[in-house]
Amino acid sequence: MTPDELTQPADNLLDVERTFSERLAYIGRFFWRDKSGIIGLVMFFLVVFAAVFSPAISPYNPLKQNLRDSKMLPAWTAEGSWDHPFGTDNLGRDIFSRVIYGARVSLTVGFFGVLIAGTLGMVLGAIAGYAGGRIDSVIMGVINLVLSLPYLLFVVFIAAILGRSLINVILIFGITDSPVFARVTRGEVLRIRESGYVESAISAGARWPRIVFDHIIPNLIGPLITLATFEMSAMIFYEAGLGFLGLSVPPTVPSWGNMLAAGRKYLTSYPWIATFPGLAIMFTSMGMNLLGDWLRDVLDPRLRRSRK
């Protein structure tokens, strides 16, 4: 026996047990040092705000055509007017309003896509990790198959077969992305199973539901929240890409991808039509990536990006 085993080690100062308020203060300091996290959070909230309050914020009905006022330039150009801050498209629809409504489509796809992928993935991963043996090999085989495919190509393939609808897009992302969540969940379940404290909890008389809620879920939340942020950002990206190819929501819906696809035809003569939806995608994606990077540093330094 050595003195170390008799006393608490103070070896790694960052690992020392800390009270909740100390931990909060630590996260606060981290936040302050790494301002990119705050910036990302603000950017993300702006997009959420735009999506939730679209009818209140947008000056026009995004679907209303007005051929007399079509192809108007953005407000800050000589010919532009503040009536239409981002100008109007080829059918005279207000681009600013359409960009704001576009956030609804993107966030809906991202949110429900991640919800489905996360739930499905957690269940599959937990089963694989807990059951082990043949069930584990089968689930992992399917997961490896999906992860080794050229992802974009298959998403395009399925979308082409299923046809354009919001539900289809959400289902496609929800199902094809679940292996990423399953893999992380399985790894964590295995790690926790092997770490011994589940065993000691069982020997102390704890039952499985209790173990799941007390040990497994708290350990999983950090990595999964981080992963969800990145995957949601990726889905918003891919949804816009499908829209650009004419494979996402129906063409009448104002989504960023659809707007890009429509604007592409007028690229050389009226370039602003394609510019603003692109900037909106970039803004959202950048905010979520900054947020995700920060969350990863704070919540789980072990997690590595799994895709993209």
Interior angle at CA 247, CA 241 and CA 250, nearest 5? 115
75 three-class SS: coil
* Stretch 128-167: interaction string toward another protein, x if CB under 8 A: -------------xx-xx--xxxxxxx-xxx-xxx-----
Number of residues this chain uses to bind another protein (CB under 8 A): 57
Q: What is d(CA 247, CA 156) in angstroms, rounded to the nearest whole number? A: 7
Q: Which of these, 242, 63, 86, lies nearest to 166 by C-alpha position?
A: 242
- Binding to another protein (CB under 8 A): which residues in 94-123? none
The C-alpha atoms of residue 255 and residue 90 are separated, in whole angstroms, by: 16
Beta carbon of residue 277, minimum distance to another protein (angstroms, whole number): 8
Measured over all CA atoms, what is the biggest interatomic distance in the chain, rounded to whole angstroms?
A: 88
Q: Which helix (H) or strand (E) holds 49?
A: helix 35-52
Told to check if 2 binds another protein by CB under 8 A, we report yes
> Closest separation between CB of residue 62 and another protein, Å?
20
- Which of 247, 262, 291, 303 is the binder for another protein (CB under 8 A)? 247
Beta bridge partners of 88: 94
Q: Does 281 bind another protein (CB under 8 A)?
A: yes
CB neighbour class for 6 (10 Å; exposed up to 12, middle 13-18, buried from 19): exposed
What value, to the nearest 5°, has the Cα angle with vertex 291 and ends 288 and 297?
140
What x/- string results for residues 260 through 279 when contact with another protein is judged by CB under 8 A?
A: x--xx--xx--x--xx-xx-
Q: How far apart are CA 168 and CA 63, in angstroms?
A: 22
Considering only residues 290, 291, 295, 303, which one is a binding residue for another protein as defined by CB under 8 A?
290
Return the range that interacts with another protein (CB under 8 A); candidates 94-102, 182-190, 215-223, 240-248: 240-248
Residue with tokens 């089968």: 138
Residue 106 Cβ, how far from another protein at the closest point, in Å?
11
Between residue 26 and residue 55, which ones bind another protein under the rule CB under 8 A?
26, 29-30, 33
Residues of this chain that interact with another protein (CB under 8 A) are 1-4, 6-11, 13-14, 26, 29-30, 33, 141-142, 144-145, 148-154, 156-158, 160-162, 237, 240-241, 244-245, 247, 260, 263-264, 267-268, 271, 274-275, 277-278, 281-282, 285-286, 289-290, 305, 308
